Structure 1
Amino acid sequence: MPLPLIKAVRAYVVRGGGADYHDQGEGHWIDDHIATPMSRYPEYRQSRQSFGINVLGTLVVEIEAVDGTIGFAVTTGGEPAAYIVEKHLARFLEGRDPTEVEKIWDQMYFSTQYYGRKGLVVNAISGVDLALYDLIGKLRQEPVYALLGGKVRDELTFYATGARPDLAKEMGFIGGKMPLHHGPAEGEEGLRKNLEELETMRNRVGEDFWLMFDCWMSLDLNYATKLAHKAHEYGLKWIEEALSPDDYWGYRDLKKNAPPGMLVTTGEHEATRWGFRMLLEMECCDIIQPDVGWCGGVTELIKIANLADSKGVMMIPHGSSVYSYHFVITRHNSPFAEFLMMAPKADEVVPMFHPQLIGEPVPVNGKLKLGDAPGFGVELNRDVGLHRPYPR
């Protein structure tokens, strides 16, 4: 039976936490002197919010079918992305069969290519694509993972990203990824502090627990290479997003120069199959980390995952809650997943995209079984102050 056609597309903006997980209050670990590309400027070193990391807010996309069924998704992009969805992308969905996902994605991408290709525009496309999958799942009464070919394992296994890997170990996670707090502009003293933090955590968690550094695009090749070799003494499992996402040549050299056994990972801020093709063909990393809400949505993530699989490279998506869970559980080259510790002190497991999602599952003892609710299995919290800036 054909599915009901798409009636309407709507885009909303929400502030405070949720998909824009950097939009937090004071005292949160995620905004505590973390190394960034802006750390070269002392006035922007203490807080990422000081240079505007949270200015956009969350984008919420709703797609309604003529029978009243609504699919939705959340990602980042805020008001600028809402404008793109309402004023440009909606024309490729309204009145159309929702199962035309490939054609719809193709038209959204190539119609915006002259001002898009990456960043904000692809965030908007990703939000629409995720909402479309949620709608199809609800119309077919199937979870998204079933639409993608079904589970290849019974449950998901997680590592935790946060300031307290020692607490993450107690909670059952397989590893802990720490933010790097000091960048090249803070010199040898900063490097020493980074290594001291790693040593402290290694002493707390023991030899077998994974420890990783998230460098958030903040380093240069020389510093990253030096950090990798000095951190090898403390059993660092991987060094993540050390360089600018556009520096494919630097990543290639970092991977060549990294200590034996240490993984080089990146891709959180990369987009589309073409960006990841560069990373893979230039042998820039051991693990790619696309964010399904930023790289082009599920439709594009399928292509990216297949590229990685053909190269024998693991794909461990960045964060993104249920939107990555439904994909990871269908892929052999995604053997574990990331969980962002959104409690301010990283001392408890809380829903990653709270308060925007209702029914968002969280790991228990570092593991999670996905249910069989249709779509992505969550509902939109309409009490979070939805604002539709560009109604049509």
Structure 2
Amino acid sequence: MSIPTIKHVRAYVVRGGGADYHDQGDSHWIDDHICTPMSKYPEYCQSRQSFGINVLGSLVIEIEDSEGHVGLGVTTAGEIGAYIVEKHFARFLEGARVTDIEKLWDQMFNASLFYGRKGVVINTLSGVDLALWDLLGKVREEPVHVMLGGAVRDELQFYATGARPDLAKDMGFIGGKMPLQWGPAHGDEGLKKNIEKLAEMRSRVGDDFWLMFDCWMSLNVEYATRLAHAAQEYGLKWIEEALPPDDYWGYAKLRQQVPSTMMVTTGEHEATRWGFRMLMEMDCCDLIQPDVGWCGGVTELLKISALADAHGKLVVPHGSSVYSYHFVATRHNSPFAEFLMMAPQADKVVPMFNPLLLDEPVPVNGRLKISELDKPGFGVRLNPECKLHRPYTH
């Protein structure tokens, strides 16, 4: 059988939602008084956009083969990522066979070690990897989940991340994760307000609905421990990303100190098998949350998941829409998935990467049939109305 080769690689930048889901307009819950590592500075406390959370924008990668198939990948890396794709990674991709995904990952990773390893470089590599899997699926006319070994369940179930867990319950989700609003800089009064918010939500949703706190790297061990014990009364299921991602020692200590009924989760801003190896070998958490668009793509997520399985840890990827749904469908240690509520008031279900992608499936009553993913590749298309900018060529 003749295997197509990669002919063209193109990298674009787009603003306003999409993979950079923080790039929203005014009055969106995702930018409204959420505790961050910058919250200790009053001028950067109210809005995450004020300190530049949306500065990068979305990176869109197209990889075209010799037969005209085009693979699509998106991530958060913006113009920096576009430069890396066009000026560095393209040399490994163009001319390679579409099946050479493992080799291409290794070449891109090792060639960028001297300036990469994590952050925007691995985000970029992840986006390329997603485009490669999408391309191979279109060549084979198979969904990505089939190429990963096939689904192990008929449908996915979701918890919702957003400002209104009570509304998420009404929409059929199994749980609601809400952003923490006050951190160490706000003292005891801030901690009290966090617990009051949790208590209010518990009264609205009842005892059987999951509630979680997303702390977005903003706490220290002492504050996170106090928060966890104060939240125990209200049945908090887990405390997420409480510490900076490199503080493995702090996570190990926190996990020992939280109530036994509460999980410690993290990994959204971790990358590659080596970063997750640290989390697991130091027993930092109960559940890991790699983002397939940031951790190294599907190719690396498979390795991370195998490592987690060997350590008895659950893998629930950070919300990344279809790019993680295909993976979750195929893994027994990924029992449910995250859905980010991207409606400005978190009051309805809209596609996460809107308006960038078309044909993006969304949960109905908190569920998604695997049959909704039965399209070649990841099954999504670029919205032609989005204004793509190609800042570099090669």
Alignment TM class, shorter chain as reference: over 0.9
Structure 2 residue 226 is the aligned partner of structure 1 residue 226: yes
Corresponding residue for 2:98?
98
> What amino acid does structure 2 have at the position aligned with 1:271?
A
Corresponding residue for 1:215?
215
> What amino acid does structure 2 have at the position aligned with 1:381?
N
Structure 2 residue 343 is the aligned partner of structure 1 residue 343: yes
TM superposition shift of 1:3:
2.3
Corresponding residue for 1:379?
381
Per-residue CA distance 1:81-138 (angstroms, 9 max, x = gap):
0000110011111011011111100000000000000000000100000000000000
**Distance of 1:17 and 1:189 partners within structure 2:** 34
1:352-363 superposed matches below 5 A? 352-363=352-363
**Distance of 1:241 and 1:171 partners within structure 2:** 26
Question: Do the aligned residues in 1 keep the contact of 2:73 with 2:127 (CA within 8 Å)?
Answer: yes
Question: Do the aligned residues in 2 keep the contact of 1:357 with 1:378 (CA within 8 Å)?
Answer: yes
Identity of aligned residues (%): 73
TM superposition shift of 1:382:
2.2
1:30-49 superposed matches below 5 A? 30-49=30-49
Runs of 4+ in 1 over 2 A off after TM superposition: none
Structure 2 residue 304 is the aligned partner of structure 1 residue 304: yes
Question: Do the aligned residues in 1 keep the contact of 2:321 with 2:339 (CA within 8 Å)?
Answer: yes
Corresponding residue for 2:280?
280
**Distance of 2:155 and 2:28 partners within structure 1:** 30
Question: Do the aligned residues in 1 keep the contact of 2:340 with 2:352 (CA within 8 Å)?
Answer: yes
Corresponding residue for 2:319?
319
> What amino acid does structure 2 have at the position aligned with 1:78?
G
Question: Do the aligned residues in 2 keep the contact of 1:182 with 1:194 (CA within 8 Å)?
Answer: yes
Corresponding residue for 1:67?
67
Question: Do the aligned residues in 2 keep the contact of 1:144 with 1:376 (CA within 8 Å)?
Answer: yes
**Distance of 2:90 and 2:319 partners within structure 1:** 27
Corresponding residue for 1:127?
127
Question: Do the aligned residues in 2 keep the contact of 1:3 with 1:139 (CA within 8 Å)?
Answer: no
> What amino acid does structure 2 have at the position aligned with 1:88?
H
SS in structure 2 opposite 1:135?
helix
1:130-145 superposed matches below 5 A? 130-145=130-145
Corresponding residue for 1:111?
111
Corresponding residue for 1:148?
148
Uncovered stretches (5+) of structure 1, i.e. residues with no partner: none
Corresponding residue for 2:182?
182
> What amino acid does structure 1 have at the position aligned with 2:58?
T
**Distance of 1:178 and 1:212 partners within structure 2:** 6
Question: Do the aligned residues in 1 keep the contact of 2:161 with 2:177 (CA within 8 Å)?
Answer: yes
- Which TM-score applies when normalising by structure 2? 0.99
Structure 2 residue 166 is the aligned partner of structure 1 residue 160: no
Structure 2 residue 283 is the aligned partner of structure 1 residue 291: no
**Distance of 2:6 and 2:286 partners within structure 1:** 40
Uncovered stretches (5+) of structure 2, i.e. residues with no partner: none
More divergent stretch after superposition (364-373 vs 302-311): 364-373
Question: Do the aligned residues in 1 keep the contact of 2:317 with 2:337 (CA within 8 Å)?
Answer: yes
**Distance of 1:242 and 1:267 partners within structure 2:** 11
**Distance of 1:260 and 1:77 partners within structure 2:** 38
**Distance of 1:180 and 1:232 partners within structure 2:** 15
Per-residue CA distance 1:313-345 (angstroms, 9 max, x = gap):
000000010000000000000000000000000
> What amino acid does structure 2 have at the position aligned with 1:69?
H
**Distance of 2:85 and 2:277 partners within structure 1:** 27
Corresponding residue for 1:77?
77
**Distance of 2:69 and 2:385 partners within structure 1:** 20
Question: Do the aligned residues in 1 keep the contact of 2:87 with 2:393 (CA within 8 Å)?
Answer: no
Let me know the Cα RMSD of the aligned residues.
0.5
**Distance of 1:187 and 1:31 partners within structure 2:** 22
**Distance of 2:104 and 2:2 partners within structure 1:** 17
SS in structure 2 opposite 1:388?
coil
> What amino acid does structure 2 have at the position aligned with 1:221?
V
SS in structure 2 opposite 1:8?
strand
